[in-house]
Structure 1
Amino acid sequence: MTVPAALQADADVIVVGAGPAGSATAFYLAQAGLDVLLLEKTTFPREKVCGDGLTPRAVKQLMNMGIDFDAPGWVRNKGLRVVGGGHRFDLDWPQLERFPDFGLVRTRQDFDEILADNAVKAGVRLMQGVTVTGPVLDDRSGHIVGVTTKDGATFRSRLVVAADGNSTRLALAMGLHKREDRPMGVAVRTYYTSPRHDDDYLEIWLELWDEETLLPGYGWVFGVGDGTANVGLGLLNTSDHFNKVDYRDLLRRWTKNMPAEWGFTEENMTAPIRGAALPMAFNRQPHYTRGLVLVGDSGGAINPFNGEGIAYAMETGEIAAEVIARALKAPGRAEQERILRTYPKTLKDAYGGYFTLGRLFVEAIGKPGLMSFGVRHGLPHPRLMRFALKLLGNLTDRRGDASDRIINALSKVAPRA
């Protein structure tokens, strides 16, 4: 649909999708004094497929937005418990200046609603049950100047942010397709009534077997604190077996081998097994084109090392909001466009080298021999595992210890593709 450029805007910025990326973007835009319309296709509360675990990197973002995680429903954890190769040990989150030394668990059933409500308190106008179907384009420049919805409504704005997840109709409609040279993951999870609901550590299992084949990925057991545990697994497409595995059946087979007292049985399952795709390492680019800004999963902002997406959703939202606010306050369309075009480079400067390292990592563990060697020979060395925790979690200080400096140097010299 095309419209004349002179039509009055309904908001300075329309943000499509009220997940962590959209709500964070909207929050920071509102704090910058912009009029923001946040459109969400579902109604809260609503379920999302996720492990529900939040690393210190994600907690830092919640702190920045003033989220009260001392309120009921938040479960703190001290670190990561790693199981594999006959070993089982606890790794505390590192002591860093940039990030807190604890993680959290909160189900997506209400986590996203908490962030959306926080954005509303900052002045954002939230509309739920609004399904965006496509862009409204300026008939001269081809820039997006609004969106159409399933019920026939049209909303106009000076800029549009796509925070509509992996499927991102807006990005596809604007000609932004997935890059096939980037890894893709899949995650499946369910909930069990279990004594494992209360745990000081997020627990991951590094060995996922499909009969005789060791798969690239990991399983998890995250206590939710309400009598249930979130149990799931994530796999990467770097294995030849990626399209041959029945992931739901694999989860059932994996949990059957768990201790009986944990209660991971069909009768204790409180939710169906659900799955979701994990777009990684900036698999959709550029992150800005013709008035459309991509944040979170819509731009593939998921860490390929560990499948973490929530922290990067909120971080890219904050970065996007800073660029957008600066652009929309600049004099003249040409200067605004120049500033907006800096956004993709800003993202690559922040994450590009690290994501490149992650792509190399997932290619390596896609080879069963290397995966098995790493599990057997890496886990018995606590110092190496503490280094791995920092690397895989992207948890370093800019001027930290030797491990921080190594990780930061590697990220700096790696290509920012």
Structure 2
Amino acid sequence: MRNAKPDDGVATADEGGEADVIVVGAGPAGSSTAVHLARRGLNVVMLEKSHFPREKVCGDGLTPRATRALTRLGVDTSQENGWLHNKGLRIYGGREEPFELDWPELTDFPPYGLVRPRSDFDDMLARHAVSFGAQLVEGAHVTDAILDDRSGRIVGVTTKNGSQWRAPLVVAADGNSSRLSVSMGMNKRDDRPMGVAVRTYYTSPRTNDDYLESWLELWEGKPHASTLMPGYGWIFGMGDGTSNVGLGVLNTSKAFGSTDYRALLKRWLENTPEEWGFRDENMVGKVQGAALPMAFNRQPHYGRGLLMVGDAGGMVNPFNGEGIAYAMEAAELAADAIAEARSRGIGTTGAEKALQGYPTALKASLGGYYRLGTVFVKLIGDPRIMSLCTTYGLPHKTLMKFVMKLLANLTDARDGDAMDRIINALCKAAPAA
């Protein structure tokens, strides 16, 4: 077993080792967890099956909620550091002209969002974790948990090449399929919503844009003469000559399992102006898809020494499909619980109580909001209700400001305005997801 870190903090997958905590996956969930743990003085190893830089299916757009989480990680989100800033949402739906809604001026959140390609974003965040002392192991494809014969607790993991990495606590941040969580008996819940997102890039004159663009009316074909799908489309300018264009569809639609989403993306874009450039001849790369596991669809988030963070724990916001912000927030909560458990002595009753505090904190923070989200996706899955919303709700700007705060989960916890108080009250009243 090798315990020492190389000078650059990046090791090969040929060797095993030991640590205070093993983090499986070095996406936003895993790298954020590693940063917070390393800052708390723990020896952390991140095992990433791919090699950086690597591509991920994502809209590449981040709301102020994610901006705040990055700031808490110590990441410089300035434009000078390669980030594109945006000042709000441009929302299409219910009328021909879109609404441009600036991000709300709040105490709890910054007034700007961000854009950065995931291939660069994930690489940057993993190196950020290394800069705080975490060890990154690339090409380490975790296949199985190592369990203690007597207690059944996880005490390490095995990789595809046979290497063993051992630690008293393990974090599963290995995405939607989360092979590690499944091996520990933590399976998905069928009573939670699931989405599918597809996206690609186009060279486009709309590459420079101060707003993230959201299309809340997603027609299967010609607008107002075809089926209205329960989902949304997006167009995010990347500032490099291209735009990230995609759509997300929820499983509350009867057509969810039988829809060709790549064809749906093409049909939707055929309704956009020709001069925007969203046609096959301007496509850069392939149309790629990914699942969106929502509303804590895999639980419990802690058990037998394993904590789940990010998509592994189904932490995507059912209102808007955002996952990165919530993965980073959960990472901090997980690190708090792990650091407290370590201070009490891993294996003691006190340490176990500290670890059980992680799912409790998650539910307190997001449980009510996610419960509202599950109700929301069921409602818009009914074409009649969806039609009423788009006809009578979307055209009203004041209502859309409320909807933006609700969908993006941007409110002040204290001393907010009337909209904030209503949303916060609804979240508190709803039973935790």
Using structure 1 for the length normalisation, give the TM-score.
0.97
- Which deviations, in whole Å up to 9, do the C-alpha atoms of 1:78-111 show, x marking residues without a partner? 1000011224110000000010001010010110
For the residue of structure 2 that corresponds to 1:324, the secondary structure is helix
2:42 to 18, 34, 37: 34
1-structure distance, mates of 2:119, 2:360? 34
In the TM superposition, residue 258 of structure 1 has moved relative to its aligned partner by 1.2
Matched, 1:322 2:336: yes
For the residue of structure 1 that corresponds to 2:284, the secondary structure is coil
1:152-231 equivalence runs, <5 A: 152-211=162-221, 212-231=226-245
2:70 to 44, 62, 73: 62
1:184-333 equivalence runs, <5 A: 184-211=194-221, 212-331=226-345, 333=348
- Residue type of the partner of 2:191? D
1-structure distance, mates of 2:93, 2:430? 29
> What percentage of aligned pairs have identical amino acids?
63
2-structure distance, mates of 1:391, 1:291? 35
Matched, 1:144 2:139: no
* Kept in 2: contact 1:9–1:158 (CA 8 A): no
Partner in structure 2 of residue 74 of structure 1: 83
Matched, 1:106 2:116: yes
- Which deviations, in whole Å up to 9, do the C-alpha atoms of 1:148-175 show, x marking residues without a partner? 0011100000100000000101100000
2-structure distance, mates of 1:407, 1:72? 34
Aligned length: 410
2-structure distance, mates of 1:276, 1:9? 32
Partner in structure 2 of residue 382 of structure 1: 397
2-structure distance, mates of 1:92, 1:333? 49
For the residue of structure 2 that corresponds to 1:271, the secondary structure is strand
* Kept in 2: contact 1:202–1:222 (CA 8 A): yes
Matched, 1:336 2:358: no
2-structure distance, mates of 1:301, 1:158? 24
- Which deviations, in whole Å up to 9, do the C-alpha atoms of 1:116-143 show, x marking residues without a partner? 1110001000011110001000111000
Using structure 2 for the length normalisation, give the TM-score.
0.93
1-structure distance, mates of 2:272, 2:232? 15
Runs of 4+ in 1 over 4 A off after TM superposition: none
Partner in structure 1 of residue 8 of structure 2: none
For the residue of structure 2 that corresponds to 1:166, the secondary structure is coil
In the TM superposition, residue 9 of structure 1 has moved relative to its aligned partner by 7.1
Matched, 1:407 2:423: yes
* Kept in 1: contact 2:93–2:395 (CA 8 A): no
1:18 to 22, 26, 36: 26
For the residue of structure 1 that corresponds to 2:26, the secondary structure is coil
In the TM superposition, residue 208 of structure 1 has moved relative to its aligned partner by 1.3
* Kept in 1: contact 2:67–2:113 (CA 8 A): yes
More displaced stretch, 291-300 vs 63-72: 63-72
- Which deviations, in whole Å up to 9, do the C-alpha atoms of 1:377-402 show, x marking residues without a partner? 11221111111111111100012011
- Which deviations, in whole Å up to 9, do the C-alpha atoms of 1:361-390 show, x marking residues without a partner? 000000111111111211221111111111
For the residue of structure 2 that corresponds to 1:185, the secondary structure is strand
Structure 2 unaligned regions, length at least 5? 1-15
Partner in structure 2 of residue 5 of structure 1: none
In the TM superposition, residue 333 of structure 1 has moved relative to its aligned partner by 2.0
Structure 1 unaligned regions, length at least 5? 1-7
- Residue type of the partner of 1:138? D
1-structure distance, mates of 2:43, 2:102? 42
Matched, 1:347 2:357: no
- Which deviations, in whole Å up to 9, do the C-alpha atoms of 1:197-240 show, x marking residues without a partner? 10010011111122421100011100011100000000000011
- Residue type of the partner of 1:69? T
1:358 to 351, 373, 397: 373
2:144 to 131, 134, 137: 134
More displaced stretch, 333-342 vs 149-158: 333-342
